[in-house]
Chain A
Amino acid sequence: MARAATTTDAFNAIAEPSRRAIVDALGAGERPVNDLVAAVGLTQPQVSKHLRVLREAGVVDVRDEGRRRLYRLNPQALKDIHDWVSPFQRLWEERYAALDDVLAGLKDSTSTPQPQGDDQR
């Protein structure tokens, strides 16, 4: 189940913290490299290197607008990651939905008077 140590896969591409910072910065919309340099606090060559990895993994797309190169997220790559996590999320949501019911019961038992003079614990 361990994935091959390749950066051509979206999961490995975003495993690197700087690349996740770039993905976060692109969450606000399409941006040129200089914007990203300012947003993530790395040098321009470092950001360019990470962008190349993210492009190869299909996490970001690039397009030319005049002399500028604009980078943006590719939603499909992020959806793959979301799809991988979501069954685990569902398990916890079901567990926590059951916990909601338990808490509702506890609130009822602590907020109403105890006519039998039961121990409040």
Chain B
Amino acid sequence: MTHIPALRLGRPYESLDKIGLKDSIATVSQVNAGIIHKDLQKIAASRAALKKFSFAQLIELCGRAGDIFLNANDPQHYVETLSATSGLPHVLVRRNMQRIHGMLANMGQVLRGLTRGLDLDDKTSPYCFNPATDCLGLVMPSNSPAVNSLWLPAIALRIPVIIKPGRDEPWTPYRLIQSFIAAGIPAEAFGFYPTDHEGADTILRLCGRALVFGDKSTTDKYAGNPAIQTHGPGYSKVLIGADQIERWPEFLDVLVDSIAANSGRSCLCASTIVVPSYADEIADALAKRLGPIAPMPPEDENASLSAFANPRMAEAIDAGIEQGLATPGAVDVTAQYRGGPRLVNFQGGTYLRPVIVRCDSFAHPLANKEYLFPYAGIVEVSQGKMLEQIGSSLVVTAITRDECWIEQLMESSHIERLNIGPISTMKISWHQPHEGNLFEFLYKRRAFERI
């Protein structure tokens, strides 16, 4: 059986406590909080090891690591094991790999985007920046491999990472770390600590800067702490303006991709569609496209639905939707095209088939929900009231050419990332910060003069 050790600033550590992954595919060492605390006392040496490299060298090594990640060390085995433990079909794992590879291959562009074009190696630059921390702590989720692309720039920015992997997804961060080390990045720049809540809390408390992923209760706990960036539900949305709504059939592909790409397992995926009219027609058209999607064998190239690593989560989501539908004002439009239940078992996996719920207002409990599968509520709201109703949204794609409304969208503090035009919420540009600006999180700019 495969064993994944902890990595204590690069040094493999096999603990006595191990957890087993699904179907005994692998065991993962578990460390206690004290070990993390102990290692963090030596973190300055890890950062010193990264500082021996110029930023340009690190960018080059990132590119090399990306190639190793994508092509070396039996990638097919990685695809199969990750698919088996996470439920992602092979094709989606490969797509996630491509996304991670893209981030590493384009690290120069990514850093230019994050720093707004700063030449980090130019010591004569009038802009000076100093690190806000010796390391970046990460409490990762299990939902999707590409989420790891968020921390990759830290290495190019000379900041070591202290990672608590998601319980069911140690594979990707572990493989990434191995790829970085093989590419020539010092091993001591990487802490990989499968651990419990106390260990996660230690990472968040003691790393000068940290990212935490989780549900609303997790992110609420750390909201307002400037050293911790929270990544919870995205509540991403597609809005169609009154000027474009008559053309709605042309935007169906964008809507479908926004809702269902990556099996809906991303905070970037749209979970609400907001339109000024034609909500019934659009809901029906989306349901016709998404409703028939059914589980397929993981190795099937056409598979687009992921199984749930934890079947109880799927059951709870299904029950939650059922409960929501009991509140008047919502209809599961996909039901008629699904021809069966939402919750299904297929070849030993538990799946939720796509759901489009037509809600009569934003106030309905199913209108602004986010789940780990292709799900969206569709609501009819007049354009003038959309911005006051959508609430906090990680990504908003607004399909409009109405400059006056675009101006209002640009001003909105509820929207973290804004796409104007028929752009999938899932689209990522390397030169744009993905979620928060990691450079500004890890470094502080300061005034600087030197004679």
Q: Please indicate whether A and B come from the same complex rather than being unrelated chains.
A: no
